[in-house]
Amino acid sequence: MRAFIKKHLDPATRIGECLFGLIMALGITGAVRLGAQDISSGQLFVDVLGCNLAWGVVDGVMYVMLSLFERGRKARIANCIVTARDDDAAIEFIHAELGDRLEPLTSAEERAQIYRWVLELTRRAKLDQPRIRRADILGGFAVGVLVLLATFPILVPFILFSNVTVAVRVSNCIALAMLLWLGFWWARAVGANPYRISAGVTGVGLILVLITIVLGG
C-alpha cells in the first residue's frame, strides 16, 4: 500500500492529505475535550472514522476532477499555441505560461531557445480531448486510503480505553506526535530546518483545529 500511494501521489499531496485527515479528527476530539459533546469512546470512534471516510471520498473525487481540470487547461494552452496567427503570438502564449518559472534559472537568450523548442514540440504533438485517465482514478483512490491511514493511529485509543476523557487525551497526544512527524517529513522533502518546519506545521495544524472547533466543523 505504501508503494501504491507513493507511486500515485507526490510528496506535497501525501503530506497535505495526512495533515487534513489529522485536522478533521482533532476537530471532533477537540470539541469533546472542550466539553462540547457528551459521548462514549465507541461513538466517538464511529464519528471520527465516518467523518474522515467521508472526507477521503470527497477529496479523492476532487483529486480526479482537479487532474482533469489541469489537463484541460494545458490542452487549451497547447491549442492557443498551435492556432496562433504567427510564431511571435505563439511564443507570447508560451512565455505567459513558463516565463515566471524559467526567468530565475535562464538568460533571455536561453528562454527564447526554450520557447522555440516548446513551439516546435507542441506543433508536432497530437492534441487529444482531455479525459479522465486510469492514473487519475488510482490517484483519487490513493488519496482516500491515505486519509484513512492517517486516521487509524488516533482511533486506537477509543478501542483500548472505555473512559472517553483518557481516550481523547491519548488520541490527542498521538495526533500531536504525528503533526511533529509530518513537519520532519516536510522539512526532509524541501531540504529545510526540520525543527523549525516541524514546529511550524504543528502550530498551524493546532490553529486550524481550533478554528474548526469554533466554527463547528
Which pLDDT score, from 0 to 100, does residue 129 have?
Answer: 79
113 with 133: CB under 8 angstroms? no
Q: What are phi and psi of 37, to 5 degrees?
A: -140, 150
**CA nearest to 30, candidates 46, 14, 6, 48:** 48
Per the CB < 8 A criterion, the answer to whether 213 and 30 are in contact is yes
Q: Tell me the mean pLDDT in the region 24-39.
A: 67
Question: How far is Cα 147 from Cα 107, in angstroms, rounded to an integer?
Answer: 43
What are the pLDDT digits (tens) for 119-164?
A: 888 888 877 778 889 999 999 999 999 988 888 898 999 899 888 8
Residue 213 confidence (pLDDT) above 70: no
Q: Give the torsion sign (CA, 14, 17, 21, 26).
A: positive
Among candidate residues 204, 185, 124, 154, the one with its CA nearest the CA of residue 32: 154
| Banded pLDDT at 105 (limits 50, 70, 90) | confident
Confidence of residue 57 (pLDDT cuts 50, 70, 90): very high
Whether residue 213 contacts residue 31, with contact meaning beta carbons closer than 8 Å, is answered with yes
161-179 confidence digits (pLDDT tens): 888 888 888 888 888 888 8
Give the amino acid at 78.
A
* Mean pLDDT of the 32-44 span: 69
Q: State the average pLDDT over residues 52-64.
A: 91
Q: Residue 73: which of 54, 97, 90 has the closest Cα?
A: 97
Domain parsing of the chain, residue ranges:
2-68+133-214, 71-124
Q: What value, to the nearest 5°, has the Cα angle with vertex 204 and ends 70 and 181?
A: 85
Residue 80: band (very low, low, confident or very high) from pLDDT cuts 50, 70, 90:
confident
